[in-house]
Amino acid sequence: MSKESANKTPHEFDFDIAVIGSGPGGYECAIRASQLGYKTCIIEKEQTLGGVCLNWGCIPTKSLLKNAEVIHTLKDAEEFGIKLNGFEIDFTKVIRRSRKVATKMAKGVEFLMKKNKIEVKKGYGKLKSAHEIEISYEKDGSSEVVSSQHIILATGTKARSIPSVPVDRERIITSYEAMVLKEKPESLTVIGAGAIGMEFAYFYNAVGTKVTVVELMPQILPNEDEEIATTLAKELKKQGIEILTDAQVQKAEAVENGVKTTVKLKDGSEKELQSDYALVAIGLTGNVENLGLEEVGVETERGFIKVDEFGRTNVEGVYAIGDVAGGILLAHKASVEGINCVEKIAGLSPEPLDPMSIPACTYCQPSVAHLGMTEKQALEKGYEIKVGKFPFMASGKATASGHNEGMVKLIFDKKYGELLGAHIIGYEATEMIAELGMAKKLEATSEWIHKTVHAHPTFSEAVKEAAAAADGEAINI
């Protein structure tokens, strides 16, 4: 800390709270700070607010996935009695729509900053001390130092890479480039079968690209319940996606007009994949470089900033929330952490975020959503469990909608009926998981869930039926 800054009282700082990074965690954190009466600023190195989520992640990818869903609906139109004389996909327009959606949402964040009287500084923020930030402005090459009583880092993550797969952003690409390709590739190798990998695999397969997915682990979506992941793999293979699990990428190299990827299969043999592009989706690492962390003494661990349950780092006055702080890397988790962090600073009593209550979603079709433990995890922790399942093929609404693939799978503690884990694969999975999040928050038992009246016909009836199945009381299966 500079001598001048060290001698300031809290009221002499330029700001009470300064947030570096304007993704969902950062901008919601800033809004809550303003609501609580703090003089707040937000610092963003890009010219648009919203971070990766609004500009290059959650929002534009969902636009692309909606296109994929529409394409599948058109392909199945005859099943609904609608005859089409073919249709064409304007790939450029698909990408353009995605960008328009992202731009609109980013402008919405700009509006929220003005509404909440939050000062926005569009420059690169770097810690100069525990209470000072040096901001560099690329536009004119100038810089300034601002002081803040509290500094919250919300700088997010970037794509992880490995030496055997050198990303050149031309042929070996990340999700950023995959969102703005100028023309539809004829073939694509997706390296990594987490949520990002599977969403892009689904989208590109829908627009007519030959897609091969390579995953090191025994199943796609390694963090999902095994039964759910197996069901998704089966459905995506039906759609034409080739999936290689227990497969290790030995190397990927850009060649003339494409990429050659060498994969070692489970039986020890090697397979060579030729494709127009290879998408690297093997995980994320925190944006911790060039933030001044080392100079100020902020501790990091495995590429992420070390924090306590309310985002406090080892340096007083410096906090970190969201993806850069590690843990579950999801936008909604970042938002809750940001709000909790500010409320703790304000002397309120926010509840620490329970990782078991955080829903995780994959937005391909069928979509996947879960919270809490998998069946395997519950058994490993020593719980005696009861499991209830209900397939969407037995759902009237799902059958009428033409989306009867998948199931709801609920895991309860046998002794007390506590909901330990909820897993859904199906057309409305990402919307339905919220009911189960509420149930877990309120410590609802299996009986409470299936005794709650659900409207008929709805997809959510499957939740009721799965809970009833766990108690041996299912009616419709």
Query: Which residues does the annotation place in the binding site?
Result: 62, 125, 192-199, 215, 283, 323
DSSP 386-427: EEEEEEGGG-HHHHHHT----EEEEEEETTT-BEEEEEEEET
Contact 175, 56 (CB under 8 A): yes
Indicate which residue of 11, 72, 403, 456 is catalytic. Answer: 456
Q: What residues does 452 pair with on adjacent strands?
A: none
How many other CB atoms sit within 10 Å of the CB of residue 263?
21
Name, in order, each residue with C-beta under 8 angstroms of 180's C-beta and a sequence gap of 6 or more: 95, 99
Q: What are the structure tokens assigned to 227, written together?
A: 């039964």
Count of all residues that appear for the chain in the document? 477
Q: How far is CA 172 from the centre of its chain?
A: 22
Strands 15-20 and 143-153, sheet pairing: parallel
Using CB atoms within 10 Å of the CB of residue 456, give its burial: 0 to 12 exposed, 13 to 18 middle, 19+ buried.
Answer: exposed
Q: What are the structure tokens assigned to 139, written together?
A: 């536009």
Contact 121, 135 (CB under 8 A): yes
- The binding site for FAD comprises 62, 125, 323
Q: What share of the chain is helix, strand, coil (3-state, %, to 5)?
A: 35, 25, 40
Contact 20, 296 (CB under 8 A): no
Is there a catalytic annotation at residue 456? yes
Q: What are the structure tokens assigned to 186, written together?
A: 């004829």
- The binding site for NAD(+) comprises 192-199, 215, 283
b/e code 132-171 from CB counts within 10 Å (16+ = b): bbbbeeeeeeeeeebbbbbbbbbbbbbbeeeeebebeeeb
b/e code 297-310 from CB counts within 10 Å (16+ = b): ebebeebbbebeeb
Backbone angles phi, psi at 84, to 5 degrees: -115, 145
The helix or strand, by DSSP H or E, that contains position 129, with its residue range, turns out to be strand 124-129
> In which region does residue 389 sit, left (phi positive, over 0), alpha (psi from -120 to 50) or beta (all else)?
beta
Q: Which residues are annotated as catalytic?
A: 456
